[in-house]
Chains A and B, each alone.
Chain A
Amino acid sequence: MAFPRRSSRNPRSRATFALLLLTAVTVLVLDLPGTGPLDPVRSVFATAFRPIRAAGNAVFEPLSNGWKGAFGYDDVRDENDQLRKELEERKGLEAEVERLQADNAELRKLNGITVEGVPTKAAKVVSGPLNSFEQVVRIDVGSSSKVKPLMAVVTGGGVLGRIADTDSASSTVELLTKPGVKLGAATTDGALGIVEGQGVGQPLLLTIDGDEDVDIEEGDWIYTSGIDRSAFPGDLPIGRVSKVTERADGLAPRIEVEPAADLSSRYVRVVLKDPPS
């Protein structure tokens, strides 16, 4: 099929191109992090598109499930095997956990510590990344459910990430693995540090504060510290140490942490603890 085409040497063609480029760059500059005057506009358009998206989800869900069934069978089988193995291990740990819980409750009483229950809000993951470069998921609760940016999002396994932004009925969650996402962390020995994302599929990087000589080994659990100026309460599992690399030049060892949360979880909880102002 042939249609009349205007050459790129046509002045009008170049003017159109220049105008569109200028508009895109202007919008880009206005939306740079920290400014955000276009957030309301973005929110309005996203809200307007929501019904179309919901209809699309309803229509395409079976196709998506079919794809996962066809191409993800091996993964599902492996995951099932892994879950069975973990279940067996957990059965053995139950008694130990009960004993430790009893000890913990007793110690808290002795120390006069009152544990305030932090409310959480259950949410469903409505979409994952929309293209290859996003490292976020979207959930179906927003500011109308008192969800605010920087709040913690957890799964049954541990910390999934933090709220990046919200509108009235949905929120965007930055995954723990996204570069630039940092959390205050603590080892089981009480040493404090910072855990930082390094990208999808990469382990987290743990940096221990100061020059503390920490005895840390592969398999050790890492938790949120709870004392960092963040909305993350303490003692939420972040992950397990997967690799400790000693460095010869006197620097602290490089500690890699495998996230405990399943980053593809469909159901999550938002910890409704207000971020520090």
Chain B
Amino acid sequence: MSPVRVAAVVVAALTVQVSLLSRFSFEGARPDVMILLAVIAGYVAGPDRGAIVGFAAGMSFDVLLSTPLGLSALVYTVVGYGVGAATVGMVRSSRIAPILVAAAGSAIGVLAYALAGTVLGEPTLDGPDLVAIVVFVAAINAVLAPLAVRAISWTISSDSDRRSPFALR
């Protein structure tokens, strides 16, 4: 896994999230493409790489959010690792599988974020209806899943993986 490519994907996703997706709101719910990166990284590349990408995506998002620094990183790391561990035996040739995994993983991630935020005293359960957020984020991420699979596959398909001393193995 190339750190440079991971960074490029994370920055691109963050730009899309902040400049485009965060403007779209349905019943107060907004898309969250950063959690999709963690979910798909876990699914495509396994638990440890899922955790790494989840951490990178979460921490970079945290820098811009007003919520405590590290909250997204913590949740996305767990989500990336969890999805990777849960899908170890899954058939990877299916076209539907990543879409279903993206929807389910995102839904669980959003719930985990809301709960973790509440534990830390953030008003994450006092905002828009949690069911609306879960459904909306899961639906949008299911649609974007094929794109995310391509992006994550690109980060781990580099030939330089085998040569670079900085490769994330």
B52 within 8 A of A: yes
15 A-B Cβ contacts within 8 A?
A10-B48, A20-B77, A21-B77, A28-B68, A28-B71, A28-B73, A45-B63, A64-B20, A129-B22, A130-B17, A130-B65, A131-B61, A180-B123, A200-B126, A201-B28
The reply to whether B51 and A20 contact each other, CB–CB distance below 8 Å, is yes
Other CB < 8 Å A-B pairs besides A20-B73, A127-B23, A128-B23, 18 of them? A12-B48, A20-B51, A28-B69, A28-B73, A45-B63, A52-B15, A53-B19, A57-B19, A67-B23, A127-B18, A129-B22, A130-B17, A130-B64, A131-B61, A134-B67, A178-B123, A179-B126, A201-B128
Chain B window 36-75, contacts with chain A (Cβ cutoff 8 Å), 1 for yes, 0 for no: 0000000011111101101100111101111111110110
Interface residues of A in 2-29 (CB under 8 A from B): 2-3, 5-8, 10, 12-13, 16-17, 20-21, 23-29
How large, as a class, is the contact surface on chain A? 35 or more
- Cα distance A261–B110 when bound, in Å? 30
A10 to B23, CA, bound (A): 41
Q: Is the CB of B70 within 8 A of A56?
A: no
Instruction: Out of B24, B28, B88, B124, name the residue touching A5 (CB < 8 Å).
Output: B88
- Give the residues in chain B near A178, CB-CB below 8 Å: 123
**B84 interface neighbour in A8, A12, A52, A136, Cβ under 8 Å:** A8
Task: Say yes or no: A25-B20 contact (C-beta < 8 A), given A134-B65, A200-B127.
Answer: no
Min CB gap B9→A, angstroms:
14
Expressed in whole angstroms, the minimum distance between the Cβ of B162 and any Cβ of chain A is: 12
Contact A6 B46 (CB under 8 A): yes
Q: Which residues of A contact B65 (CB under 8 A)?
A: 130-131, 134
Q: CA of A42 to CA of B124 in the docked complex: distance in angstroms? A: 21
Residues of B within 8 A of A172 (CB): 66
Contact (A16, B48) CB under 8 Å given A21-B77, A45-B63, A57-B19: yes
Please pick, from A29, A38, A49, the residue contacting B14 in the complex, using a CB distance under 8 A: A49
- With both beta carbons as reference points, the residue of chain A lying nearest to B43 in the complex is identified as A5
A128 vs B19: C-alpha distance when bound (angstroms)? 10
Known: A13-B48, A17-B51. A1 touches B153 (CB 8 A): yes
Contacts of B121 in A (CB 8 A): 33
B29 within 8 A of A: yes
How far does the alpha carbon of A64 sit from the alpha carbon of B63 in the complex, in Å?
Answer: 23
Q: CB of B11 within 8 A of chain A?
A: yes
Closest-CB distance, B92 to chain A (whole angstroms):
6
B146 to chain A, nearest CB (A): 11
Q: Mark B125-163, 1 if CB is under 8 A from A, else 0.
A: 011100001001100000000000100010011000000
**Does A59 reach chain B (CB closer than 8 Å)?**
yes
- In the bound complex, residues from chain A placing their C-beta under 8 Å from that of B71 are 28
Please indicate the chain A residues that have their CB under 8 angstroms from the CB of B58 in the complex. Answer: 24
Q: How far is the CA of A53 from the CA of B66 in the complex (A)?
A: 16
Given contacts A6-B46, A53-B15, A53-B19, contact A135 B73 (CB under 8 A): no
Cβ of B16 within 8 Å of any chain A Cβ, yes or no, is yes
Q: Which residue of chain B has its CB nearest to the CB of A54?
A: B19
A-chain residues with CB within 8 Å of residue B137 when the two chains form the complex: 132
User: Which of A108-150 touch B at CB < 8 Å?
Assistant: 127-136
A20 contact set on B, CB distance < 8 A: 51-52, 54-55, 73, 77
A164 interfacial by beta-carbon distance below 8 Å: yes
Task: State the Cβ distance, B13 to closest chain A Cβ, in Å.
Answer: 11
Within 8 A of A (CB), among B89-108: 92
Asked whether any CB of chain B lies closer than 8 Å to the CB of A102, the reply is no
**Bound CA span A60–B14, Å:** 13
Q: How far is the CB of B139 from chain A (nearest CB, A)?
A: 13
Tell me whether A63 is interfacial, beta carbon within 8 Å.
yes
Q: Are A130 and B44 in contact (CB-based, < 8 A)?
A: no
- In the bound assembly, the distance between CA atoms of A27 and B77 in angstroms comes to 14
Task: Contact check, B30 vs A129: say whether CB atoms are below 8 A apart.
Answer: yes
CA distance A127 to B22 in the complex (A): 8
